[in-house]
Structure 1
Amino acid sequence: MWLILVVTVAVLFVTMLLYEWFRCTMLKNRLKWVKDIPGIPILGNALEFGDTDETFANFQGFFDKHGKLLLLEVAMKPRIISCDYDFFEFMLGGQKVLNKSTVYTYLMNWLGTGLLTSDGPKWKKRRRLLTPAFHFSILEQFVDTFETQGKVLIRKLESLVDKDIDIYKYITLYALDVICETAMGITVNAQEDSESDYVRYVKEVCRIVAIRPHTIFKSSQLLYPLSKDFFREQQAVRHLHSVTYSVIDSRMKKLEQELAMSEAKRQENEATGIKRKMAFLDILLRSTIDGQPLSREDIREEVDTFMFEGHDTTASAISFCVFQVATHPDVQEKILEEQISIFGDDFNRNATLNDLQEMRYLECVVKETLRLFPSVPFIGRRTNEDTMYKGNLIPKDVNITLCIYHMMRDPEQYPNPNEFDPSRFEYNDGKKPYSFVPFSAGPRNCIGEFPLINKIFTYTQSDEEVL
């Protein structure tokens, strides 16, 4: 009996391997116009994906040696990788290749099919619905949140002056505090209680999602459930979903109470300054009540997506920005001069949205930081139909990795690309439209670009004493 079972499993496994090998071979035959990087049988180029530093260096080595448009294979799954400007312009600027690559499926256990992971009609519908949530009038009310949480962070860092610290650890907690208040309208006090369950589980899911694409065993949907990380992820996601649903239900009750409130009472509250901020969740709930087709699960997907995209990317960007400013005293001096020109001697007052818009040099510093260290260094696309590029065929269902990090360090786009030089962005100087894409570009660009920049501004403009 056991022998029959073992033989059956072995036959199924070999059949699966043969199917994947045949499919891989057929795809590669149709992509012969792309330079193929040889790998080893079955694994392909998987061993080239070590830790993050190795992946960046290996990709740069491939591009330097073989060109800017290449074909790799990982576990018999071909993927195009590119840092070529023309290819970026084709992929990001058009309407033909809008679907996300299969790598994004690793996020679906937590995020479902929200704005980040959805494709086709669902994505278009969500994008249209969510765009108004990022209007200036909505975002302006949270500038004081950025400021308040930034001051908590500064207070924490002031006690660590003259010590070597991992700045990212502290800024991640700051970003979590900000995103929880702006997305869900709740206070988690991550900076005061870094060991809270919510903070811990967010970190755990982010860790697992980051390593899965580069681990052969865990990248397989068939084998991943056999790993310890699968059960850790399930536990973390259950907790995160539970918190989000709890907040949704609570905010829904408050919203119903507000809608039941008389117009006279609302006017009285506004006259006395009692006006609640509209968190991202509130906007979603109002859309549901106003007849928009958003279910409780739909709302949870978008809130969790906003949480994921809004805290980790922000923390990374601010950390690199602070490091660059700290190691370039001349840049510090220029930032300080700009702050004095805006605030005068009154550095204790909170920044306004208008103040942030006046910080032109700081904007150059942030952009140069994002050019060197984009928070999302790679983005993935997948062809949903046969697509022609410069007379060459890209077949349906090919995964494509656009290497933003490497393209924005291309000497053809930026002279002395590894040098930190904020003056690059003081003038446009005829830069190509897709040469600066830390937030992607085109129809699927990052919807949260403006609030992320504002969070960086609001923190950096108040960090001079710490630096």
Structure 2
Amino acid sequence: MIVYIVFSMFFLFLFVSIVWWINAWRYSRGLKDVKGPKPFPIIGNVTELDTTTLFWQINEWHKEYGYLAKAFIGFDFVVSLADPEYLEFVCTNPLTSHKGYYYRYLHNWLNLGLLTSADQKWHKRRKLITPAYHFKILEQFVPVFDKTGNILMDKLRENVGKLSFNVQDLISLCTLDIINETAMGISVNAQLNANTDYVNAIKVLTHIVTERGIKIYKHFDLLYFFTKDYRIEKKCLKIVHNYSLSVIESRRKELQKNSESNSFNPNAIDEFGRRKRIAFLDLLLQSTIDGQPLTDEDIREEVDTFMFEGHDTTASGISFWLHLISKHPEIQEKLILEQQNIFGDDPFRPTTLSDLQNMNYMEMTIKETLRLYPSVPMMLRDCIQDIKFRDMTFKKGTQLLIFPFYLHRRPDIFPDPEKFIPERFQAENINKRHAFSYLAFSAGSRNCIGQKFAMLEMKCILGKILRNFEIHPSYPAHEVKIQADIIIASKNGYRIQLKHRK
């Protein structure tokens, strides 16, 4: 009996290995010039990957094998791209507009919202949501950025004089307040209530999703069901979904109280003669697609998507910026001069859109921060049929990894890539580079719909911090340790030191 079981297991392993090699040959035959680490049968290259070293390991692959590098995650064939011309082809080609296979691990959380959907559903949702991020609408969000930033300043003042404190949670709660009041149309006062359950649940979910992508046994729902991560995910999903449903219900009640809002009017004027703000959630609650209103599930999946993307990505960018600026006093001085030129003798007056548009050097520092630490450091696209580009053939099912984390550190594109040099983003320097050499907000039809919103928000919050505080390195010295998740983060926080600015 034992001998029979052993032989059965051996032949099963042999059969699966043969199937794997045939699969590997099929994928690789049109990409003979693309190199990569030697894979093991069945498991591929997963033994080289974990969430602590993932980005750096893929970096090393590119350094060794070139700007295109191939790897296997189990039976899945992945080609990592860090070449602008190939990235332009992928980002602008409708045959590679589908998100990659691993995005299915987000479905329990985000279902098929704007981030994860494809084809007609994506086109219709994108068309529906785009008006909420028109520049004229964004202008009306600036007072919210400013008001919410003032609360953050009060919280930061409580930490002045400390040799070291972690700014991470304060920033996350601030951006959570902003996305709620602007996109969702409600005030939750997360900074004042300091309830971090939602923020912590998001962090855990992003880590679990990344883990599932690189742990073979977690690819299978049946096996994943018996893991600890499954139970943790269920608990976090309950927190996140209940939060989103409460946001939807609160806004629904607000609209019911206001009879004018019950009929969506983009030209409505408030009592001060200003055009009323249009919340992203209002569009979902009052719009139809193909003559039918959106279901509660339709609304929740988009709210979950925007709450996640609009809060966590911006918090990441602000936090890394503070970490970098604390270590570059000469750059901080240039930033202060710009703030003084804009605000003159009244540094604490409310910020206007014109102020933000004049923060040119601030924008350079933000872009340079996102070069080094792109909020979304990697994106996957799925080849939905065989695709040829130049002398390469990407077979149907190939997972194309768009990898800004390495692309932004290519020394031939960005000399001295590890150095923080905001002047890289002066107009004359940008014009020298390929348009697809910088993908902090992705590119093509599936670029980030909220990138203008995020830039204005970060400028407003960071300018306010600069006008209130001097930013210094923590003592003892602190270096961020990158955690490879959907949204890039530091697993040991962002520790800085603040002093009142005179």
TM-score by length of 1: 0.90
Per-residue CA deviations over 1:342-382 (Å, capped at 9, x if unaligned) read 11111121101111001111111111111111111111111
Per-residue CA deviations over 1:308-334 (Å, capped at 9, x if unaligned) read 111111111011111222211111111
Contact 1:288 1:295 in 2 (8 A): no
Match of 2:75 in 1: 76
Runs of 5+ unmatched residues, structure 1: none
Q: Secondary structure at the match of 1:231?
A: helix
Contact 2:441 2:451 in 1 (8 A): yes
Match of 2:450 in 1: 448
Provide closer, same or farther for how the CA distance between residues 12 and 462 of structure 1 changes in structure 2, counting only shifts above 3 A.
same
Q: Secondary structure at the match of 1:41?
A: coil
Per-residue CA deviations over 1:95-148 (Å, capped at 9, x if unaligned) read 331111112111111111011001111111111111111012222222122222
Match of 1:461 in 2: 463
C-alpha displacement at 1:49, in angstroms? 1.2
C-alpha displacement at 1:274, in angstroms? 10
Contact 1:146 1:458 in 2 (8 A): yes
1:461 alignment partner AA: G
Provide closer, same or farther for how the CA distance between residues 217 and 181 of structure 1 changes in structure 2, counting only shifts above 3 A.
farther
Contact 1:190 1:199 in 2 (8 A): no
Match of 2:500 in 1: none
Match of 1:191 in 2: 191
2:445 alignment partner AA: P
Does 1:88 pair with 2:95?
Answer: no
Q: Name the structure with the higher helix share.
A: 1
Match of 2:477 in 1: none
Match of 2:115 in 1: 116
C-alpha displacement at 1:301, in angstroms? 1.0
Moved more, 190-199 or 364-373: 190-199
Contact 2:377 2:403 in 1 (8 A): yes
Contact 1:284 1:299 in 2 (8 A): yes
2:463 alignment partner AA: Q
TM-score by length of 2: 0.84
C-alpha displacement at 1:218, in angstroms? 2.4
Structure 2: distance between partners of 1:342 and 1:280: 31
C-alpha displacement at 1:171, in angstroms? 1.3
Structure 1: distance between partners of 2:179 and 2:243: 14
Contact 2:256 2:262 in 1 (8 A): no
C-alpha displacement at 1:10, in angstroms? 10
C-alpha displacement at 1:76, in angstroms? 2.5
Provide closer, same or farther for how the CA distance between residues 218 and 259 of structure 1 changes in structure 2, counting only shifts above 3 A.
same
1:434 alignment partner AA: F
Match of 1:247 in 2: 247
Provide closer, same or farther for how the CA distance between residues 170 and 119 of structure 1 changes in structure 2, counting only shifts above 3 A.
same
Structure 1: distance between partners of 2:245 and 2:24: 42
Contact 1:378 1:402 in 2 (8 A): yes
Contact 2:140 2:277 in 1 (8 A): yes
Structure 2: distance between partners of 1:223 and 1:428: 54
Match of 1:131 in 2: 130
Instruction: Kindly report which structure 2 residues correspond to 1:261-280, keeping only aligned pairs within 5 A, or say none.
Output: 270-271=270-271, 277-280=277-280
Provide closer, same or farther for how the CA distance between residues 236 and 56 of structure 1 changes in structure 2, counting only shifts above 3 A.
closer
Contact 2:342 2:358 in 1 (8 A): yes
Match of 2:392 in 1: 392
Instruction: Kindly report which structure 2 residues correspond to 1:345-360, keeping only aligned pairs within 5 A, or say none.
Output: 345-360=345-360
Provide closer, same or farther for how the CA distance between residues 232 and 262 of structure 1 changes in structure 2, counting only shifts above 3 A.
closer
Per-residue CA deviations over 1:231-290 (Å, capped at 9, x if unaligned) read 221232233223323332342343244346899xxx999336798643221122122499
C-alpha displacement at 1:42, in angstroms? 2.3
Per-residue CA deviations over 1:64-115 (Å, capped at 9, x if unaligned) read 2211111101122211112122211211233331111112111111111011
Runs of 5+ unmatched residues, structure 2: 472-502
Structure 1: distance between partners of 2:238 and 2:10: 35
Contact 2:368 2:425 in 1 (8 A): yes
Q: 2:433 aligns with which of 431, 434, 439?
A: 431
Per-residue CA deviations over 1:21-73 (Å, capped at 9, x if unaligned) read 54344323444342132022322211221233x22222222112211111101
Match of 1:330 in 2: 330
Match of 1:107 in 2: 106
Contact 1:202 1:236 in 2 (8 A): yes
Provide closer, same or farther for how the CA distance between residues 268 and 382 of structure 1 changes in structure 2, counting only shifts above 3 A.
closer
Match of 1:213 in 2: 213
Structure 2: distance between partners of 1:377 and 1:39: 24
Structure 2: distance between partners of 1:16 and 1:58: 27
Instruction: Kindly report which structure 2 residues correspond to 1:171-320, keeping only aligned pairs within 5 A, or say none.
Output: 171-259=171-259, 270-271=270-271, 277-288=277-288, 291=291, 293-320=293-320
Provide closer, same or farther for how the CA distance between residues 12 and 238 of structure 1 changes in structure 2, counting only shifts above 3 A.
farther
Structure 1: distance between partners of 2:331 and 2:51: 32
C-alpha displacement at 1:194, in angstroms? 3.6
Moved more, 299-308 or 180-189: 180-189
Structure 1: distance between partners of 2:452 and 2:261: 33
1:156 alignment partner AA: K
Contact 1:71 1:78 in 2 (8 A): yes
2:180 alignment partner AA: C
Contact 2:35 2:65 in 1 (8 A): yes
Structure 2: distance between partners of 1:76 and 1:391: 24
Moved more, 20-29 or 400-409: 20-29
Contact 2:269 2:276 in 1 (8 A): no
C-alpha displacement at 1:414, in angstroms? 1.6
Provide closer, same or farther for how the CA distance between residues 57 and 272 of structure 1 changes in structure 2, counting only shifts above 3 A.
closer
2:135 alignment partner AA: F
Does 1:156 pair with 2:155?
Answer: yes
Q: Secondary structure at the match of 1:271?
A: coil
Match of 2:61 in 1: 62
Structure 2: distance between partners of 1:172 and 1:357: 24
C-alpha displacement at 1:417, in angstroms? 1.7
C-alpha displacement at 1:303, in angstroms? 0.9
Provide closer, same or farther for how the CA distance between residues 173 and 251 of structure 1 changes in structure 2, counting only shifts above 3 A.
closer
Moved more, 183-192 or 377-386: 183-192
Provide closer, same or farther for how the CA distance between residues 205 and 276 of structure 1 changes in structure 2, counting only shifts above 3 A.
farther
Structure 2: distance between partners of 1:320 and 1:75: 33
